[in-house]
Amino acid sequence: MSNKGRPAVVELRIPSRPEFVSVARLAILGVASRAKFTYDQVEDVRLAVGEACTSAVERAIKANKTDTDITIRSEISDNKLTIEVRDEVGYPPKAPEAVKSPEELDEQGLGALLMELLVDEFKTEPTPEGGTLVRMVKYAG
C-alpha cells in the first residue's frame, strides 16, 4: 500500500456496549487487511482490538457508564499499523500489592497481557478527560 508518505486514517466510534465489540473487530479486520500483513498478523490485530474494546465495555458496565463511547482510531503507513482505543471510563485505582503469578491476574490483567503479546508495541494510559487510551502498534513483515 503506497500512499506517498501520507498515512491513511480510519476512525470508528461505537457505544460502550458488548453487542458493538464485534463491529470494532470487523472494522479493524478490514483496515488491517489493507496493510502488508500476513493472515496471522491480521488476526492478531483483530484479537487485540477486540480485547481492548471488551476491556473498555467491562469498565463502563462496572462504572454504570454504558451511555459512553469507545473510539477506535487506526493509522496505516507502508509497514505499520497504529491503533488507539479510547474510552471515557478510567481504570479503577490499583491496589499497592503486585501481581505475583499469572493465576493472580484478573480479567483486565489477562486482557492487557494478551494485547501485549499480540502486537509489537502496547501502552495504556489515562486520558486528561478521565478515560483510558490503549495504543497498539503492529509492524508488517
If one compares 52 and 35, the residue with the highest pLDDT of the two is 52
If one compares 96 and 38, the residue with the highest pLDDT of the two is 38
Residues 132, 87 contacting (CB under 8 angstroms): yes
What average pLDDT does the segment 92-114 reach? 59
Residue 93 has a pLDDT of 56
Q: Compute CA distances 112 → 5, 32, 47, whole Å.
A: 31, 20, 12
Residue 100 confidence (pLDDT) above 50: no
* % pLDDT > 90, the chain: 69
Domain 8-139 of CATH type 3.30.565.10? yes
Residue 112 has a pLDDT of 80
Residue 95 confidence (pLDDT) above 70: no
* % pLDDT > 70, the chain: 84
Taking CB atoms within 8 Å and a gap of at least 24, the contacts of 100-109 are 107/58, 108/55, 108/58, 108/59
Q: Taking Cα atoms as reference points, which of 91, 75, 78 lies closest to residue 136?
A: 75
Residue 136 has a pLDDT of 97
